[in-house]
Structure 1
Amino acid sequence: MPTPPPLHFSAFVMNTTSHILQGTWRQPDAGQTNFNSLDHWVELAKILERGKFDFIFFADVVGLYGDFGGSYEKYVESGLQIPSNDPGVIASAIAYATDDLGIAITSSVIQEHPFNFARKISTLDHASNGRIAWNIVTSGLANAARNFGFDDLEEHDERYRWAEEYVDVVYKLWEGSWDDGALLQDRQRGLHGDYAKIHKINHVGKRYRVEGPHLVAPSPQRTPVLFQAGSSSAGEDFAARNAEAQFIITPGPEQAKALVDDTRRRVMAAGRRPGDLKFFQGLHFVIGGTEAEARRKADELDESIDLEAMVAHLSGAVGVDFGGHPLDTPLGDIGDTDGTRSIVAWVRESVSGRDATVRDLGLLQGRNSRVVGTPETIADQLERWRDAGVDGINVVNATIPGSYADFVDHVIPVLQDRGLAQRDYARGTTRAKVFGGGDLLPERHPAARYRGAFTPGRGTTGAA
């Protein structure tokens, strides 16, 4: 049997104070309140690069979560993803301070016109020498839709049809608008570009009309590395067609294997190879020199978590307002709806001998996807995730930079000794580093059909 490849590692962050583990920003060593500072992010990026992480992965939102207790007061009071800054603005500073670290930014199809987004991403890919990735999201927050002039959210599957046209436009701009060799910069002839190799795309679709051409010459990757995180059937189909990496959160390796196997079947049905899509499982780590120390640190972490804020985050994410119920309220006292039924069942399975409460909901959210142990036992568990088909780990933090510094200093060396983490970066762009091929998307990706498609004589209508 061939030796399995090392896992990839990504740091799951957000340009805000309180991202996933709510309330931990109050700890004395928590630096995430400095999220406005470029130095904060540059320091973290250097730690990640020292640990040979593949990505710093920025989550993002462009609206508030749904009301908790009838308002957004709890989000403001706990700093739950508000304030939230634009990660794309700081990407170039991170790129300038690092050499190999991939920089993944989340951007929703709702928040920026595809022509301008394509221009921004190409600029960043140039500035980083080919290290930009895009996490494609459709945004499920009603407040986000209203922030951009819509009355309410589009229906779920329609948002993915919207995303299909959006990526179609940017693929045309990135892959088809400029042929190779179009940028000449010939001083002797005074010829800067080759007009015959730069094309308008003339896209006409349901939502967008884009004439082109793309205003940026092809960047090292042309199209950035493509992430996606949807878990619905429509989301998995979208990922199978378009994504190169999918962010997943599953309860354990067995469930991860089922999801990975199913999605890879969809990848093959879309005409791609199974390895064209890599899976990054979200996990957070509590590391101790002994198992007893790790358990003690886990208990201390539980004490620092704002359980009500954890419940608020879940409420906003699933569209069910658990606010107005004290933490000791039995979940059975909360109305039984389609939105609450699966959540209540999930929490009840985690307790025994008593009724599950709203507090248990917050506790389970805080402990979900947590790995507690010594570097050696953590490595044992990560090996099981790899054996289940997971390609990488998206590392969730309790504190920044502490969670990542601990992981880099104590866990990464053990993983490297076991062949579970890379010792050095490969050469080339982030796509070449992570996938082991060239800098560009493979020919079997749907974006590749636009290479040369707009060259006169080959013919294309530009329609979606």
Structure 2
Amino acid sequence: MTARKEILLNAFTMNCVGHINHGLWTHPRDRSQDYTTIGYWTELARTLEAGLFDAVFIADIVGVYDVYGGSIDLTAREAIQLPVNDPTLLVPAMAAVTEHLGFGVTVNTAVEHPYTFARRFSTLDHLTDGRIGWNIVTGYLDSAARAVGRDAMAEHDERYDRADDYLDFLYKLWETSWDEDAVRRDKDARVFADPAAIHEIRHDGPYYQGRGYHLSEPSPQRTPVLFQAGTSGRGQRFAARHAECVFISASDPEAARRTARELRAAVVAAGRQADDIRIFVGLSVVTGATDAEAEERLLDYVAHASPEAGLAHFAAGSGIDFSRYGPDDEIAYGPTNAIQSTTAAARRKGLSKRQLLDGLKLGGRYPLLVGSGDTVAAEMARWVDEGEIDGFNLTRTVVPECWHDVTRFVVPALQARGRYKTAYAEGTLRRRLLGEGDRLAPRHAGASAHLSARTASAAAPASHLSLKVS
């Protein structure tokens, strides 16, 4: 009999008031308005570690949602990911009050140079003792492009081309600039680091160029765990080469299975193994001591949610201004330069505005599980088994009680089914998620850069490495 897969759980949140399930900031028990305080985040970290969550997955955007109605009117009134603060600065505070919780942090490749970005994540990997991951996004908001001086975003596929080049630059910095034994910390010899073991790298890519030494000594993971969310054709090819964890959207286990199989086939085609990636589905959960209590709680939440705010969020992701349509008008789901998989899913179903709003009754578009801990655990297990996925990004509803409820009701039910850990394994985030070592698997593109560099160093001057990452 095949062993039943242990389910992975990430808490999905953002450094803002309204994230996915919009309008719930108005609930009398919701504390998301406290997001500007350190205590809000350290309390979250302690709660998630008590629930043995694998990581907190922190989303981010650069730009604003101004597609719906052609303005930020509703965005500002309902706090639809505005205001939004930097996610990376939360990590040290949360890491200081936890020992095992991982951190997956979103940073957009379009808004900063890879050289300085590499140092920030090496620093976070050091400070967390190897618990950091990076969610790679290429951006989808023209407002973000305009804010940094561009007329509009690059075309969808070109954004991934740029990201490929970005990662190739990063692999050289993280994996090849410092040898494993470069840092000696020898006080008697007055040698902190051996200069012969520190290499200048050059990158002359189609989009990024640079020559220099990585500023940080090797961190526990060197390269952070690489998360990615994008299931368009080009997004899948990018994931097949780079991603270790992939975040997908799926309306049901059958849809999850289709995407999971496509992703794993692409990973194999890229020369890796099918189980070299972990696949997470976005999910909302409302739970309680009984099914009846959970249903009652859902009604309470829905009374405070804003379906229209959810539609404004969806407008930004699809590039379609739904405010121009009547409730039952046919919507032109044409090609856009935003999130292609988002638009494609709505186009397949031919959803009207009325139907979209009905599906956004909790303010967000993720599948919703409602019930006792045992009911939710059974459904999660079904999703994993039938959907051929590995776990979930659980998005917040009313904060902080949603996290306490999952920890009190769902986690014990999963453990009773043998589907969830009863203690954290030791080691880095990569070791715990992927079950191999602390560093990139040898089949990964970044690891091959490391091996190429070691070969090149035999023929090149000790202080300089110039290599092509293939």
Q: CA deviation at 1:345?
A: 6.1
Judge which range, 139-148 or 340-349, deviates more. Answer: 340-349
2:376 — aligned with what? 378
Q: CA deviation at 1:108?
A: 0.7
The letter of the residue matching 1:243 is A
Q: CA deviation at 1:335?
A: 5.8
Q: CA deviation at 1:357?
A: 5.5
Residue 281 of structure 1 aligns to a residue in which SS?
strand
1:23 — aligned with what? 23
String of CA shifts for 1:349-387, please: whole Å, max 9, x gaps: 9xxxxx945643543864641001111111111111121
Within 2, Cα distance between the matches of 1:270 and 1:138?
A: 21
Contact 2:306 2:363 in 1 (8 A): no
Q: Do the aligned partners of residues 367 and 298 (structure 1) sit closer, same or farther apart at CA in structure 2, a change above 3 Å counting?
A: farther
2:90 — aligned with what? 90
Contact 2:244 2:276 in 1 (8 A): yes
Q: CA deviation at 1:322?
A: 1.3
Residue 68 of structure 2 aligns to a residue in which SS?
coil
Contact 2:24 2:305 in 1 (8 A): yes
- Structure 2 residues not aligned, in runs of 5+: 337-342
Within 1, Cα distance between the matches of 2:32 and 2:409?
A: 21
Within 2, Cα distance between the matches of 1:344 and 1:270?
A: 30
Identity of aligned residues (%): 39
Q: CA deviation at 1:347?
A: 6.5
The letter of the residue matching 1:230 is G
TM-score (norm 2): 0.93
Contact 1:66 1:321 in 2 (8 A): no
Within 2, Cα distance between the matches of 1:287 and 1:347?
A: 31
CA root-mean-square deviation: 2.0
TM-score (norm 1): 0.94
String of CA shifts for 1:123-179, please: whole Å, max 9, x gaps: 110011000000000001111111122111101000000000001111111101111
Structure 2 residue 209 is matched with structure 1 residue 215 = no
Q: Do the aligned partners of residues 439 and 34 (structure 1) sit closer, same or farther apart at CA in structure 2, a change above 3 Å counting?
A: same
1:74 — aligned with what? 74
Q: Do the aligned partners of residues 179 and 367 (structure 1) sit closer, same or farther apart at CA in structure 2, a change above 3 Å counting?
A: closer
1:302 — aligned with what? 302
2:339 — aligned with what? none
Q: Do the aligned partners of residues 158 and 239 (structure 1) sit closer, same or farther apart at CA in structure 2, a change above 3 Å counting?
A: same
1:235 — aligned with what? 235
1:155-194 matched pairs, under 5 angstroms: 155-194=155-194
Q: Do the aligned partners of residues 266 and 64 (structure 1) sit closer, same or farther apart at CA in structure 2, a change above 3 Å counting?
A: same
Q: What number of residue pairs does the alignment pair up?
A: 456
Within 2, Cα distance between the matches of 1:15 and 1:36?
A: 8
String of CA shifts for 1:363-416, please: whole Å, max 9, x gaps: 386464100111111111111112121101111111221111100011101111
Residue 35 of structure 1 aligns to a residue in which SS?
helix
1:198 — aligned with what? 198
1:457 — aligned with what? 458
Contact 1:201 1:213 in 2 (8 A): yes
1:388-399 matched pairs, under 5 angstroms: 388-399=387-398
Residue 42 of structure 2 aligns to a residue in which SS?
helix
Q: Do the aligned partners of residues 342 and 49 (structure 1) sit closer, same or farther apart at CA in structure 2, a change above 3 Å counting?
A: closer
1:313-392 matched pairs, under 5 angstroms: 313-324=313-324, 329-332=326-329, 337=334, 343=346, 346=349, 348=351, 356=354, 359-360=357-358, 362-363=360-361, 366=364, 368-387=366-385, 388-392=387-391
1:146 — aligned with what? 146
Q: CA deviation at 1:457?
A: 2.5
Contact 1:244 1:277 in 2 (8 A): yes
Q: Do the aligned partners of residues 237 and 373 (structure 1) sit closer, same or farther apart at CA in structure 2, a change above 3 Å counting?
A: same
Q: Do the aligned partners of residues 458 and 274 (structure 1) sit closer, same or farther apart at CA in structure 2, a change above 3 Å counting?
A: farther
Contact 2:331 2:351 in 1 (8 A): no
